[in-house]
């Protein structure tokens, strides 16, 4: 007697959709989504049968698939890595004031509407006055990130002409993007001067010719060259640029307002006379992803009028978050979360680590935190972590919310410089739930 093919015992899609559990979800999730889940569950069952296994509970598989589609792909995580501006984890966490501003304008807003005149306005008007007041710049412009700010500056000021850059400043930023490639897309011609470790003022001077439009200084924000090094002071570069009738663009990258470590600050660059200064809004500045351009009013206006500006402009949510961050700086009563984490006393961090260890049965371990985000590459920040068993690393990544730590020397370290007091309690619950499973 011929044995019946086990694949024939599997239900059809229509039969599966008659199950009351899926019928109940169809009204909530929609027919197409439930139909696709049923198809995927049956296909998985076919693969198991073909491999000589039991088909399993196909309805339960469909429900699991539906549950997976209900979980957002972009999720909040607890950063316990000790890397403060963690590029893979969204860089700078926003301040409460920035989040409030986002919520307020998420619907309709006066993004490009002048409420006093009843006419079309400019989206730049909402944050430019704050940026000018905080930095002393003549004018300000905001685009969607700092690479865009540099691209726009060079395209608007030097398209078809030469831009002089030191070889030691031709940096590569995240995910393989390189300054020379960014400049090439601007339509300007890159002219390299000096060597990797030494570039002198006379190198720039010899390179300036009739085709030269700008000198570009790029801060080495994500690395340092030590030993026999030399580079001209910014004031001297500004003097040379003005003497030869070209523009000095200073790309600061990290965007520091107060003095932190060995990072050049925005006010220092402007005070030195840089004609255009660019930096990121979401690194050490502590706000949303944005590229901020400050400088001479006539030059910033050329950037604003350039066709690329529309393609690179920031949206209303970015501008709202930036406005909230700037208001925090202006108040002087508090600082963005990034600056708080960078400057918080180690004793306070240790207290959180001790609390987390108490709640989880872990051990307190002294460690070092980093600024991250391509900033302060040689600066360590004393920190403390809760050391747990390494086997918790994967289940904690699947927790709700996921908890991301560092695996080192056979242990999972949850660094408490990047966890808040409230997040310590959440992390502890996640650890204990993972253990119980």
pLDDT over 90 at 423, yes or no: yes
The mean per-residue pLDDT over the stretch 30-37 comes to 84
Reported as a single tens digit per residue, the pLDDT across 261-315 is 778 889 999 999 999 999 999 989 999 999 999 999 999 999 999 999 999 999 9
pTM of the model: 0.83
pLDDT of residue 42: 87
Contact yes or no for 197/228 (Cβ under 8 A): yes
The mean per-residue pLDDT over the stretch 106-113 comes to 96
List, edge to edge, every strand of the sheet that includes 247-253: 139-143, 291-295, 276-280, 247-253, 212-218, 162-166, 189-193
β-partners of residue 278 are: 251, 293
Encoded tokens for 33: 């989504």
Reported as a single tens digit per residue, the pLDDT across 155-190 is 999 999 999 999 988 877 665 667 788 777 888 999
Does 94-334 match 78-87+339-436 at the fold level?
A: no
* C-alpha span between 171 and 273 (Å, rounded): 23
Alpha-carbon torsion 95, 335, 261, 249, what sign?
positive
The mean per-residue pLDDT over the stretch 53-57 comes to 86
pLDDT of residue 348: 97
Question: Which among 429, 410, 427 is positioned nearest to 437, based on CA atoms?
Answer: 429
Reported as a single tens digit per residue, the pLDDT across 135-162 is 999 999 999 999 899 999 999 999 999 9
pLDDT over 80 at 22, yes or no: yes
Reported as a single tens digit per residue, the pLDDT across 201-246 is 999 999 999 999 999 999 876 666 777 778 889 999 999 999 999 9
pLDDT over 50 at 94, yes or no: yes
Domain residue spans of the chain: 8-69, 78-87+339-436, 94-334
Encoded tokens for 125: 């008007």
Give percent of the chain with pLDDT exceeding 70.
Answer: 95
Reported as a single tens digit per residue, the pLDDT across 355-413 is 999 999 999 999 999 998 878 877 889 999 999 999 999 999 989 899 999 999 999 99
Q: Which residues of 416-437 are buried (b: 16+ CB within 10 A; e: fewer)?
A: bbbbbeebbebbbebbeebeee
The CATH architecture assigned to 78-87+339-436 reads Alpha-Beta Complex (3.90)
Give the residue, 15 or 166, on which the prediction is more confident.
166
pLDDT of residue 274: 97
The mean per-residue pLDDT over the stretch 325-348 comes to 92
* C-alpha span between 214 and 26 (Å, rounded): 62
pLDDT over 60 at 324, yes or no: yes
Judged by average pLDDT, the poorest of 14-18, 134-138, 260-264, 332-336 is: 260-264
In order of 138, 151, 321, the CA distances from 315 in angstroms are 23, 18, 10
Which residue do the tokens 């044995």 mark? 3
Q: Longest Cα pair distance anywhere in the chain, in angstroms?
A: 100
Give the residue, 172 or 18, on which the prediction is more confident.
18
CB proximity list for 64: less than 8 A, separation 6 or greater: none
The CATH architecture assigned to 94-334 reads 3-Layer(aba) Sandwich (3.40)
pLDDT over 90 at 14, yes or no: no
Provide φ and ψ at 44, rounded to 5°: -65, -40
- Alpha carbon 412 to its chain's center: 25
Residue 318 sits at the vertex; the CA angle it makes with 405 and 339, to the nearest 5 degrees, is 45
Give the residue, 374 or 54, on which the prediction is more confident.
54
pLDDT band with cut points at 50, 70 and 90 for residue 4? low
Contact yes or no for 218/169 (Cβ under 8 A): yes
């Amino acid at each position: 007697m011929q044995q019946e093919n086990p694949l024939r015992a599997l239900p059809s899609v229509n039969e599966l959709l008659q199950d009351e559990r899926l019928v109940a979800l169809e009204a909530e999730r929609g027919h197409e989504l439930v139909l696709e889940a049923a198809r995927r569950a049956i296909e998985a069952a076919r693969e198991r049968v073909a491999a000589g296994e039991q088909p399993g509970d196909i309805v339960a598989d469909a429900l699991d698939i539906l549950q997976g589609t209900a979980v957002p792909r972009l999720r909040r995580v607890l950063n316990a890595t000790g890397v403060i501006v963690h590029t893979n984890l969204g860089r700078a966490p926003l301040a409460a004031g920035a989040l409030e501003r986002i919520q307020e304008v998420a619907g309709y807003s006066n993004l490009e509407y002048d409420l006093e005149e009843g006419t079309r306005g400019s989206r730049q008007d909402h944050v430019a006055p704050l940026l000018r007041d905080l930095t002393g710049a003549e004018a300000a412009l905001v685009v969607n990130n700092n690479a865009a700010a540099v691209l726009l500056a060079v395209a608007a000021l030097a398209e078809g002409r030469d831009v002089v850059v030191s070889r030691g400043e031709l940096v590569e930023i995240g995910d393989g993007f390189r300054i020379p490639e960014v400049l090439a897309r601007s339509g300007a011609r890159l002219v390299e001067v000096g060597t990797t470790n030494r570039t002198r003022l006379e190198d720039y001077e010899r390179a300036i010719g009739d085709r030269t439009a700008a000198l570009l200084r790029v801060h080495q924000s994500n690395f340092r060259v030590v030993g026999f090094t030399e580079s001209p002071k910014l004031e001297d570069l500004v003097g040379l640029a003005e003497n030869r009738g070209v523009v000095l663009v200073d790309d600061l990258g990290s965007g520091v307002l107060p003095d932190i470590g060995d990072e050049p600050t925005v006010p220092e660059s402007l005070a030195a006379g840089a004609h255009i200064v660019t930096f990121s809004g979401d690194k050490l500045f502590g706000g949303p992803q944005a590229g901020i351009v400050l400088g001479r009013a006539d030059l910033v206006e050329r950037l604003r009028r350039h066709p690329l500006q529309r393609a690179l402009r920031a949206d209303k949510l970015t501008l709202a978050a930036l406005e909230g961050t700037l208001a925090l700086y202006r108040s002087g009563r508090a600082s963005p979360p990034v600056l708080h984490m960078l400057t918080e006393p180690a004793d306070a961090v240790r207290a959180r680590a001790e609390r987390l260890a108490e709640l989880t049965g872990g051990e307190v371990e002294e460690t070092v935190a980093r600024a991250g985000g391509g900033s302060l590459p040689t600066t360590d920040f004393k920190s403390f972590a809760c050391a747990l068993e390494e086997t918790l690393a994967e289940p904690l990544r699947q927790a709700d919310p996921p908890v991301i730590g560092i695996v080192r020397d056979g242990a999972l370290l949850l660094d408490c410089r990047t966890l808040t007091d409230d997040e310590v309690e959440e992390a502890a619950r996640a650890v204990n739930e993972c253990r119980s499973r």
